[in-house]
Amino acid sequence: MKKILTMGALLVLFLFALVPAQAEMRGYVKGQGYVYVNFGEYPYEKDGTARPVLWRVLDVQDNRAMMLTEYLIDTDQIIFVTDAKAIENHDYRRIHSFEESDLFPKLSTEYVDRLLGDDPIRGALIPEPNGATLFLLSADDYINIAYGFEKNQWAEWPARIKSHEASGTPYAIKQRGLYVAYQNDMSPYWVADVKSDTDYKLQIVGFNGHLSYGAYTRVNIGLRLAVRLDLNQLEINGGQGTMQSPYTFNYTGSTETVSAAAPAPTETALPVFQPTATAEPAAQLPVFTYAPDTPVSYEQLATAAPVAQAPLYTLAPAVTAAPASQASSALLYTLAPSVNTAAPFSYAPTEAPTAEPAAQIVPAEKDTVTLSFVGDCSIGDSAQFTTAKSSYHVCLQNNGFAWPFSLVKDYLANDDLTVANLEVVFTTRTRHQDKMYYLRGDSSFVQVLTEGSVEMVNTVNNHCMDFMNEGYVDSLATLDSAGVKHFGTINPGLANAHDDLGLVDVNGILFGFVGWSYPQEYDLKNISNRILQLRSQGAEVVVVSLHWGRETYMTPESWQNSFARNVLDAGADMIWGHHPHVIQPIAIYQGKPILFSTGNFTFGTMSDVNPETGIFQVTYEKTANGPALKELRVIPCTTQKSPDFRPKELTEEKSRLQVFKDLTFKKAPYMLENPPESFLQTGVIQFENGQVVQ
């Protein structure tokens, strides 16, 4: 009997030990080690497949936990310099603190977005005094024995400080080029200390765990991120707190959301740009129908019944949607070029607009069709800057909606379709993502597009969800009301997913558009399925828009070369890229153009970047065998910062030639073709029978 009671007591203790308890959250304890937690996810496998991120808990004070990633999840530079000669000569900007670096703001924007997306646990993040949400440990942190680190910071090989070491993820190593020490496959990662104001160096943790110095322009130093969490807003819902069975969290803080149909809060409404009394109520705006994310195979397409036609839209002063019952996965538009759309809102500028309205003439059918692509257009400001004297909002108030595109309007009005990357949401909502810059324009700002003869926009990028799903839905409705076509797939498979494929009849050629943000290797299948979907609906030319690459880098990363080839092999006819805010070289693959990055075009809250940009025009001709690419032409332009914001054509020969030079690789990547030498003088690439004319 005694033996049975003893065994029963042990069983109760064992079962009790399996129940996670909030009190077990603690920092490092000598002899007991660390507590481990899983939250967020990040690309892990070398192909970009994401996994939950494992964190070690360094310290818990006042129910606030300080955590460090167990491995290096990614790589980045502290300032963005790629010119080898500039690096060698130290001919680049000097920084006095980590807060002045180009990496610093990304810790509260890009990396938080990729790590947590829309996970409510974002509400438990505690910002640092300098404003960063994620942060890098300092050199002093790495020798703090209270965090479980060893004090010796100068150990040399073969001595190793194992508590300082960390290995990189296969993604960071294979996809991002993380440096790995050959001795033990450990990787260095940098910390937040600048050595001095003159030495261009950063204190980093070496492969053997010791603290040393490295140039802060290196691209292959890894990121090992830290974070603070408010445990009062979390509860443990699983795991044992070990590395093998880490804790997981439930978010218990406020989950109050703003309904998509609810009116925006009035305290931050922008009175200058309120719609007039004649504006159509939001509830009456046409609504897009989004298709489910269903994979489609070649075999299924070959045997499938014809796909029902999507609703027909025309660019005319009055835009009328077909009944929703006719909707399918892509929205079909017919486009009468150079026809201006009646604006749904009115606005009285203090000065008359400088650009003439687009001609109300529908030309006769032509043998060629020309599409213009322009880069990042942020028609608004980060919300905290909307009232600044130099803001985009004030610029429009003073100059009118025709102002931003007034210096290039002739090019955009005389093509057959202009497509831009819309890197802002049109909304008056105030609930926003926890990030440094959250970009917003008033709904009336859509008239900048219609006045500028921009008929279509890509809507998916790293700012489209700045004001949550509600703000994105507001923006789509605003575009619909103004007759501006749009496309882009965001958050496929999630509750707030949008799957919007564009199908546009332009003078008798049916163009299909796919938009994707931050593409990963595992997205290829989904992108391929959407290309097939457009083909099944009759698309003769398919353009894939990719929001990708490193910001401010003048050349794409190596992984983008192979990714672009795979997308074109999947059936796309062209790739149009954006996100780096600067132009990047053009490449040709099997007669199909790759525009890696088309730069900024008109951008509120614009940082100090290379202002080169352009209007990238592709011309297709009609043949007996279908549309054939005839020409790619670049009209070289420069962006203008506050308070002007207008892109303008470059007319000085030296500046024009520099743009053409920067759009050409010094050495073409594997299997890709550079523009011909004549491009360096003319900015034009001619095509014949699917090949570049040399």
Q: CB atoms < 10 A from the CB of 150, how many?
A: 16
Distance from C-alpha of 544 to C-alpha of 560, rounded to nearest angstrom: 14
Confidence bin at 694 (pLDDT 50/70/90):
confident
* Residue 259 confidence (pLDDT): 31
pLDDT at 438 over 60: yes
Please compute the mean of the pLDDT values over residues 128-138 and round it to a whole number.
88
Q: Give all strands (DSSP E) within 201-247, no chain letters.
A: 201-205, 211-215, 222-223, 226-230, 234-238
DSSP-derived letter for residue 242 is S
Write phi, then psi, for 654 (nearest 5 degrees): -60, -40
CB-based contacts of 103-107 (< 8 A; 24+ apart in sequence): 103/76, 103/77, 103/78, 103/79, 104/130, 104/132, 105/436, 105/437, 106/76, 106/551, 107/132, 107/133, 107/134, 107/135, 107/136, 107/225
pLDDT at 311 over 70: no
Contact 88, 97 (CB under 8 A): no
Lowest mean pLDDT among 8-22, 250-264, 595-609: 8-22
Please compute the mean of the pLDDT values over residues 477-493 and round it to a whole number.
94
| pLDDT tens, residue by residue, 286-296 | 222 223 333 33
* Residue 100 confidence (pLDDT): 82
Q: CB atoms < 10 A from the CB of 320, how many?
A: 10
pLDDT at 242 over 90: yes
Write phi, then psi, for 43 (nearest 5 degrees): -50, 130
| pLDDT tens, residue by residue, 362-387 | 444 579 999 999 999 999 999 888 88
pLDDT at 509 over 80: yes
Joined tokens for residue 488? 């882009």
Please identify which residue in the block is written with the tokens 């003159």. 198
Joined tokens for residue 517? 């943000």
pLDDT at 5 over 50: no
Distance from C-alpha of 431 to C-alpha of 463, rounded to nearest angstrom: 14
CA angle 591–595–600, rounded 5-degree value: 160
Distance from C-alpha of 569 to C-alpha of 454, rounded to nearest angstrom: 29
Strands 74-75 and 626-638 come out as unpaired
Please compute the mean of the pLDDT values over residues 502-521 and round it to a whole number.
95
Q: CB atoms < 10 A from the CB of 383, how many?
A: 20
Name all domains of the chain by residue range, CATH numbers in brackets. 17-251 (no CATH), 331-665 (3.60.21.10)
Higher pLDDT, residue 290 or 23: 23
Please compute the mean of the pLDDT values over residues 510-529 and round it to a whole number.
94
Contact residues for 245 (Cβ-Cβ < 8 A; gap 6+): 239
Looking at 19-94, list the stretches that DSSP marks H as alpha helix, in order from N- to C-terminal side. Answer: 84-88
Q: Is 623 exposed, middle or buried (0-12, 13-18, 19+ CB in 10 A)?
A: exposed
Please compute the mean of the pLDDT values over residues 328-356 and round it to a whole number.
37
Point out which residues pair with 204 in neighbouring strands: 190, 212
Is the bond into 323 cis (omega within 30 degrees of 0)? no
pLDDT at 520 over 90: no
Confidence bin at 225 (pLDDT 50/70/90):
very high
Joined tokens for residue 299? 């075999």
* Residue 571 confidence (pLDDT): 97
Confidence bin at 435 (pLDDT 50/70/90):
confident
Higher pLDDT, residue 270 or 386: 386
Helix (H, G, I), strand (E, B) or coil at 684: strand
Lowest mean pLDDT among 337-341, 486-490, 678-682: 337-341
Contact residues for 666 (Cβ-Cβ < 8 A; gap 6+): none
* Residue 662 confidence (pLDDT): 97
pLDDT at 15 over 60: no
Confidence bin at 102 (pLDDT 50/70/90):
confident
Lowest mean pLDDT among 99-108, 334-343, 455-464, 541-550: 334-343
pLDDT at 554 over 60: yes
Contact residues for 608 (Cβ-Cβ < 8 A; gap 6+): 641
Q: Taking Cα atoms as reference points, which of 634, 604, 632 lies closest to residue 408?
A: 634
pLDDT at 594 over 60: yes
Joined tokens for residue 455? 């008929």
**pLDDT, mean over the chain:** 80
* Residue 400 confidence (pLDDT): 95
H or E element in which residue 633 lies: strand 626-638
Distance from C-alpha of 17 to C-alpha of 284, rounded to nearest angstrom: 57
pLDDT at 360 over 70: no
Q: Taking Cα atoms as reference points, which of 24, 42, 22 lies closest to residue 34?
A: 24
Distance from C-alpha of 200 to C-alpha of 87, rounded to nearest angstrom: 10
